[in-house]
Amino acid sequence: MQHFLKGALAVSMFALSLGMAQAQDLAPLNSDSEPDRMDWSALETDFGPFPEPAAGTKVGGVSKTLTNEYWRTLGEGYAQFAKAHGVEFVYQAAQSEGDQIGQLSIAENLISQGFSALLFSPQTDANLVPALEAATAAGVPVVNVNDAVIPQVAHYVGNVQKDNGVRVAKWFIEHHPEGGKVAVIEGQAGVFAAGQRTAGFTETINAAGNFEIVASVPADWSRELAFNAAATILQQHPDLIGFYANNDGMALGVVEAVKAAGKAEQTAVFGTDGVSDAYAAIRAGDLTGTVDSFPILTGEVGMEVALRLMAGQDLPRVVATPQALITKDNIETFATTDMTALRAALTAK
């Protein structure tokens, strides 16, 4: 028995070493600028009709948390595509967006349960690295789906994070040619998406030459922290013309602070993600806009990519999914729940 255990341990260590070596062969991933990429809309054109998976195929999904609508909706996209193709799907998430250890434990448990492929949405760029290494060693494909990026991952599905901030900055430049003071409410430190969204906004608006970013502070994806940060910024800069928040939950907290300060007519507020509460707030005239990254569609694409990889297709390292700046002017075009109509609207742009 002792010899058997030693042999099993040796095999396990060899597999882990092999998986780590394979991961180390890849350059650290920047999903926004990785040249080995394609657009989501070209999957069938470039790789042919979707190859139906074998009976008994199981895919596991690991999300940040289910307390945020974005991640629940992403899971709906996974589940819809899986169900349509007879794939068993399990979706689990940490209790909160700060529970990095809990998320890692979930991922490691799924690896041990014999899933054919795994979809990871890590809380930070680092917390699921051990799970990625274990899955790679076991020969289980992993697709990193929004929005933190594991540097060693072989496949990523998600939108261009930097472009979220760029789109909002361009709105301010177009609607405020005279310039003005603006502020950024950042997401969680150490998360690729938060850094890129902030950088996209900051670089673009600074290039205009007549805007001043008076504050750029993290609120850790928290609506309450964003409210407090925005209230303080408005006290210090009562002439502020706008906020950009790295997600919609924080943006809605900013909206509350702006209304409480009596600045709703003066101060535009933008978020990111396109959750239903953001759409409702835009319709109500409270939120100026959001950059929707269409989580149901992203989930469908993520599941399709995972299953195409299982079928042996050699996909690019990044499959880019769509996004659009949503305001009162175009909200009805993108508010549809008809995925065929949404796909048509996005590919017609």
Token representation of residue 263: 């600045």
* 189 and 269 fall within a common domain: yes
Residues 288 and 180 in one domain: yes
Sorting pLDDT into bands at 50, 70 and 90, what band is 349?
low
What's the pLDDT score for residue 212? 98
Based on the fold, state whether residues 147 and 32 are members of the same structural domain: yes
Residue 74 CA to residue 63 CA, distance in Å, equals 9
Q: What pTM, to 2 d.p., does this model score?
A: 0.89
pLDDT at 60 over 50: yes
Residue 299 included in any domain: yes
Residues 241-250 have a mean pLDDT of 98
Q: How far apart are CA 183 and CA 320, in angstroms?
A: 28
Q: Which of 3-12, 75-84, 129-138 has the lowest mean pLDDT?
A: 3-12
Q: Are strands 58-65 and 88-94 parallel, antiparallel or unpaired?
A: parallel
Query: Does 347 map to a domain?
Result: no
Say if residue 209 is in the same domain as residue 276: yes
The answer, yes or no, to whether residue 23 has pLDDT greater than 80, is no
Whole-number Å distance between alpha carbons of 65 and 122: 10
Angle formed at CA 201 by CA 195 and CA 205, multiple of 5 degrees: 145
Over the stretch 135-181, which tens digit does the pLDDT of each residue have?
999 999 999 999 899 999 999 999 999 999 999 999 999 999 999 99
Question: In this structure, are 80 and 197 located in the same domain?
Answer: no
CATH number reported for the structural domain that contains residue 203 in this entry: 3.40.50.2300
Count how many residues are written for the chain: 349
Angle between helices 129-137 and 2-24 (to 10 degrees): 110
Question: At residue 225, does pLDDT exceed 80?
Answer: yes
Q: Which residue has the higher pLDDT, 9 or 147?
A: 147
pLDDT at 16 over 90: no
Ramachandran class of 183: left when φ > 0, alpha when ψ lies in -120 to 50, beta otherwise: beta
Residue 209 and residue 300 share a domain: no
Structure tokens given for 94: 């940490």
Tens of pLDDT, residue by residue over 321-348, are 999 999 999 999 999 889 999 999 999 8
DSSP letters, 70-137, are HHHHHHHHHHHHHHHTT-EEEEEEESSTT-HHHHHHHHHHHHTTT-SEEEE--SSSSTTHHHHHHHHH
* Arithmetic mean of pLDDT, 304-328: 97
On whether the CB atoms of residues 143 and 119 are closer than 8 A, the answer is: yes
Residue 259 CA to residue 210 CA, distance in Å, equals 26
Q: Cα separation of 239 and 182, whole Å?
A: 9
Strand 142-145 with 117-120, pairing: parallel
Q: Are residues 130 and 187 in the same domain?
A: no
Look up residue 101 and give its two tokens. 């250890």
Q: How many CA atoms lie within 13 A of 65 on its CB side?
A: 15
72 plus 41 within the same structural domain: yes
Could you tell me which residue, 76 or 21, shows the higher pLDDT? 76
Query: How many structural domains does the chain have?
Result: 2
Of residues 265 and 25, the one with the higher pLDDT is 265
Domain span at 258: 161-292
Mean pLDDT of the chain: 92
pLDDT at 7 over 60: no
Over pLDDT 70: what percentage of the chain? 93
CB 190 within 8 A of CB 125: yes
> Using one digit for the tens of pLDDT, what is the confidence trace for 30-59?
999 999 999 999 999 999 999 999 999 999
CA 156/CA 161 separation, integer angstroms: 12
Q: To 5 degrees, how large is the angle CA 109–CA 121–CA 144?
A: 100
Q: Are 135 and 15 in contact (CB under 8 A)?
A: no
| Whole-number pLDDT of residue 286 | 98
As given in the structure block, the two tokens for residue 294 are 């269409």
Identify the three-state secondary structure at position 204: helix
pLDDT exceeds 60 at position 3? no
